[in-house]
């Protein structure tokens, strides 16, 4: 019996971390990693928006300089494609946020944002389809803009 108490005393002296402490550290690491990933995905979305604005802005300047106002619809389609792609990335970032949201209130807010972004993307896609039918593909504008 004395050997048992000796082993018990030795085990207690090791002071292994409690399972909850190890879990908390792992959870903190996962939360931090997801937050960084979310930030990266949001950054990609923002860069796509910036590229779309620069591209559409350049095409707009060229169209105005050449007095081709008929190209405006096609230029809108170029910008709309960039915005639709960026919205997909922003929605992905929202989904990542729900994985680490600590409260139902936060999950509710993220859900509302996701619904709004999904609706925006849906209506943007519908508008793009309708404008494509009316004006043809915007590639013609891009190609003309690059040749001039």
* Residue range 81-95, pLDDT digits in tens: 999 899 889 988 988
Task: Please state whether the predicted TM-score (pTM) of the whole model is above 0.85.
Answer: no
Q: How confident is the model at residue 41 (pLDDT cuts 50, 70, 90)?
A: very high
Q: What is the pLDDT of residue 68?
A: 84
> Where do the domains of the chain lie?
19-147
* Under 8 Å between Cβ of 77 and 135: yes
At residue 123, does pLDDT exceed 70?
A: yes
CA distances from 140 to 18, 72, 73, 74, 136 (A): 65, 12, 12, 9, 8
CA pair distance 115, 119, nearest whole angstrom? 6
Average pLDDT score over residue span 49-59: 97
pLDDT of residue 24: 78
Sign of CA dihedral 100, 102, 106, 107: positive
């Amino acid at each position: 019996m004395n050997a048992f108490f000796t082993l018990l005393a030795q085990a207690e002296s090791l002071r292994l971390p409690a399972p909850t402490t190890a879990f908390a550290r792992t959870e903190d690491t996962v939360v931090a990693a997801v937050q960084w990933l979310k930030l990266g995905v949001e950054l990609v979305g923002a860069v796509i928006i910036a590229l779309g604005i620069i591209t559409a802005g350049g095409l707009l300047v060229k169209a105005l300089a050449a007095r081709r106002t008929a190209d405006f619809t096609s230029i809108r389609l170029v910008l709309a494609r960039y915005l639709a792609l960026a919205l997909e990335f922003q929605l992905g970032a929202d989904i990542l946020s729900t994985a680490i949201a600590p409260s139902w209130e936060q999950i509710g807010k993220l859900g509302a944002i996701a619904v709004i972004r999904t609706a925006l993307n849906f209506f943007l896609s519908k508008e793009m389809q309708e404008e494509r039918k009316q004006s043809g593909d915007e590639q013609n504008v891009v190609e003309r803009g690059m040749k001039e």
